[in-house]
């Protein structure tokens, strides 16, 4: 019964975003990533990833970046972490640092997550952008190797010259993760993201494919 409800929820999400796709399509994108992480003990993990994002209906390479991060498990239900991202833009370097705190609730094969992420971007060593990001995520474990999830995330941002600009972006994701080999995972997801509080919002429809390796 739970599996059926999860599948229905995923199909509803796909249907709603597909309706927007035909009515207001702006850009179809393809995101790919490869990452690796090392768990030093049950509480502390280090990791990194490299990601590429193709835009203009997936015909052009839009963004590439690298990211490293660390996570610490304060308790079974609470994890905190810090991440650093870097990429080139024009003749300068864009950098991002964020601090995240995640709460988790476990119920048998179900997982519920609430993440608060504070993000700051720099361009040429000057502050470029700030965001507060709130994400709700539901995960279901279908088997020892397959997990599925649904997530909704909202961005609250501001610029120093204008003061608070309130909610600026929404993001909805549905995906699956498959452990095809011990500690090796493939992820496939579909994502809709769009601007908020703008008369002509940008809207992106994204297919994502990722690989992740977890070291003992």
Q: Assess whether pLDDT exceeds 60 at residue 3.
A: no
pLDDT of residue 160: 56
List Cα–Cα distances, 92 to 5, 87, 118, 122, 130, in angstroms: 48, 9, 23, 10, 18
| Rg, Å, the chain Cα set | 18
* pLDDT (average), residues 121-125: 88
pLDDT of 114 reads 98
Whole-prediction pTM value?
Answer: 0.84
192-206, pLDDT tens digit by residue? Answer: 999 998 888 899 999
Q: Which domain holds residue 173?
A: 2-215
Provide the total of helices (H) and of strands (E) in the chain, helices listed first.
1, 11
pLDDT digits (tens, 9 = 90+) for 10-64: 545 554 444 444 445 589 999 999 999 999 998 999 999 999 999 999 999 988 9
Return mean pLDDT, the chain: 88
For CA atoms 12, 15, 17, 19, give the dihedral sign.
negative
Q: For residue 152, what pLDDT is reported? A: 98
Residue 106 has pLDDT above 70, yes or no: yes
Domain count, the chain: 1
Q: Quick: pLDDT tens for 129-157.
A: 899 999 999 999 999 999 999 999 999 98
Give the whole-angstrom CA distance, residue 196 versus residue 113: 23
CATH number of the domain residue 133 falls in: 2.40.160.40
The predicted structure's pLDDT at residue 199: 84
Mean pLDDT for the stretch of residues 51-80: 95
pLDDT confidence tier of residue 91, bands split at 50, 70 and 90:
confident
């Amino acid at each position: 019964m739970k599996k059926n409800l999860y599948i229905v929820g995923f199909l509803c999400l796909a249907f709603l975003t597909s309706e927007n796709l035909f009515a207001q399509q702006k850009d179809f994108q393809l995101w790919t990533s490869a990452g690796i992480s090392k768990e030093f003990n049950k509480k502390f993990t280090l990791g990194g990833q490299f990601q590429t994002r193709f835009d203009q209906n997936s015909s052009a390479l839009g963004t590439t970046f690298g990211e490293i991060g660390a996570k610490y498990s304060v308790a079974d239900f609470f994890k905190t972490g810090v991440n650093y991202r870097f990429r080139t833009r024009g003749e300068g370097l864009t950098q991002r640092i964020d601090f995240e705190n995640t709460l988790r609730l476990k119920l048998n094969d179900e997982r519920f997550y609430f993440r608060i992420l504070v993000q700051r971007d720099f361009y040429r060593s000057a502050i470029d952008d700030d965001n507060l990001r709130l994400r709700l995520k539901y995960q279901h474990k279908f088997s020892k190797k397959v997990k599925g999830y649904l997530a909704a995330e909202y961005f609250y941002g501001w610029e120093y010259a204008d003061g608070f600009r309130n909610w600026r972006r929404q993001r909805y994701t549905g995906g699956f993760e498959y452990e095809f080999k011990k500690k090796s995972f493939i992820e496939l997801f579909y994502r809709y993201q769009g601007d908020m509080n703008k008369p002509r919002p940008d809207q992106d429809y994204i297919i994502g494919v990722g690989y992740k390796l977890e070291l003992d």
